[in-house]
Amino acid sequence: MIEMHSVVAGYGGGDVLQGLDLSVRPGTITCIVGPNGAGKSTVLRAISGQIHPREGEIRLAGAAIHGHSPAAVISAGIVQVPQHNGLFADLTVRDNMLLGGYLIRRDKARLRRRIAELEEVFPIVRERADEKAANLSGGQRRIVEFARALVLEPRMVLLDEPTLGLDPKASALVFDSTRMMRDLGTTVLMVEQNVRFGLRLASHGVVMERGRVLLADSSEALLARPDMAAMFFGSSAPPADPAEPEPEPGSGTGPGTDPQREDAHL
Ligand SMILES: Nc1ncnc2c1ncn2[C@@H]1O[C@H](COP(=O)(O)OP(=O)(O)OP(=O)(O)O)[C@@H](O)[C@H]1O
């Protein structure tokens, strides 16, 4: 789905991504983890066209997208959910959803149909349609942001720390909603500070360090590695059983809702 080859990119002050190779398979949830400053968010910015690689290639289903503008990347089928203030606070949930479909605004029937589909999957979008986004809780806003990102039926969604600032109950909602995105056929690439949460949610994991990929494997395999435990979980003991059952949708509890963020920072 996405292939990054030898990508070198940064912000003017120097290169953050130092020849990064990364691939994301279609239909998966892939989670990037790693220490602060490793360049995780920079990977998402390079894919979404907010920054342009100085060297290397980024391909979506074989077609080069590096150097494309953010609008061109959206048109190619990749939508990023911003880390902060993704919704217009003074607009209603419905108007925020309509803005998500701005690019297809002339195809009113398609837009209406798509929003109706998303209201089925994410009921909050219908229940709070007339409410200003500012009146929603942090977790509810996140779900509306997810739904809005899906209006254009993207092939891939980029999530930058989707649980940042959320309590465990809201994080559980994010967990379930991310799985729902995937179940709708969207490939998800996410960055998550909470390593256990992110790897339990994802099917594949990527560990970054200093602008490069250190490890890439199934998240189950990563969670089972003793060196991962040492790197991220502050002990050499293996982490809790990664195969434990997933939470029921909407249950608000379970392994994906680890309220402890002690492993959030290295
Ligand atoms: N807009 C920017 N301008 C200049 N430097 C930046 C910018 N954004 C990030 N950086 C720098 O790039 C490096 C990598 O940042 P990035 O946000 O990708 O890291 P990260 O792995 O996502 O970690 P974090 O969890 O701290 O966000 C850091 O040293 C950061 O200071």
Torsion sign across C-alpha atoms 225, 229, 235, 240: negative
What CATH number corresponds to the domain at position 6?
Answer: 3.40.50.300
Q: Are the CB atoms for 230 and 159 separated by under 8 Å?
A: no
CB atoms within 10 A of CB 212: 17
- The residue whose C-alpha atom lies closest to atom 13 belonging to ligand 1 is 37
Strand partners, 132: 92
Measured in angstroms, how far is the CA atom of residue 39 from the centroid of ligand 1?
6
- The residue whose C-alpha atom lies closest to atom 26 belonging to ligand 1 is 36
Q: What is the pLDDT along the chain (266 residues), one digit of tens a residue?
A: 899 999 999 998 889 999 999 999 999 999 999 999 999 999 999 999 999 999 999 999 999 999 999 999 999 999 999 887 789 999 999 999 999 887 778 888 889 999 999 999 999 999 999 999 999 999 999 999 999 999 999 999 999 999 998 999 899 999 999 999 999 999 999 999 999 999 999 999 999 999 999 999 999 999 998 888 777 765 544 444 443 444 444 343 333 334 333 343 33
Mutate to test the pocket of ligand 1, among 4, 20, 32, 40 (most ligand atoms within 8 A of CB): 40
Both 223 and 266 in a single domain? Answer: yes
Measured in angstroms, how far is the CA atom of residue 209 from the centroid of ligand 1?
12
SS3 content of the chain, % helix, strand, coil (to 5): 35, 25, 40
Both 50 and 107 in a single domain? Answer: no
Both 116 and 173 in a single domain? Answer: no
Mutate to test the pocket of ligand 1, among 15, 16, 212 (most ligand atoms within 8 A of CB): 16
Q: How many domains does the chain have?
A: 2
Measured in angstroms, how far is the CA atom of residue 252 from the centroid of ligand 1?
32
Q: What is the complex's ipTM, to 2 decimals?
A: 0.95
Measured in angstroms, how far is the CA atom of residue 43 from the centroid of ligand 1?
10
Both 265 and 186 in a single domain? Answer: yes
CB proximity list for 241: less than 8 A, separation 6 or greater: none
Both 26 and 115 in a single domain? Answer: no
Range of the domain at 99: 78-153
In a domain, 159, yes or no: no
CA of 35, closest atom in ligand 1: 21
Ligand 1 pocket at CB < 6 A: 11, 13, 16, 34, 36-42, 191, 193
* Domain termination residue (choose one: 125, 153, 181): 153
- The residue whose C-alpha atom lies closest to atom 16 belonging to ligand 1 is 39
Mutate to test the pocket of ligand 1, among 41, 84, 158, 210 (most ligand atoms within 8 A of CB): 41
Q: How far apart are CA 30 and CA 32, in angstroms?
A: 7
Both 242 and 122 in a single domain? Answer: no
In a domain, 138, yes or no: yes
Q: What is the pLDDT of residues 113-147, one digit of tens each?
A: 999 999 999 999 999 999 999 999 999 999 999 99
- The residue whose C-alpha atom lies closest to atom 7 belonging to ligand 1 is 11
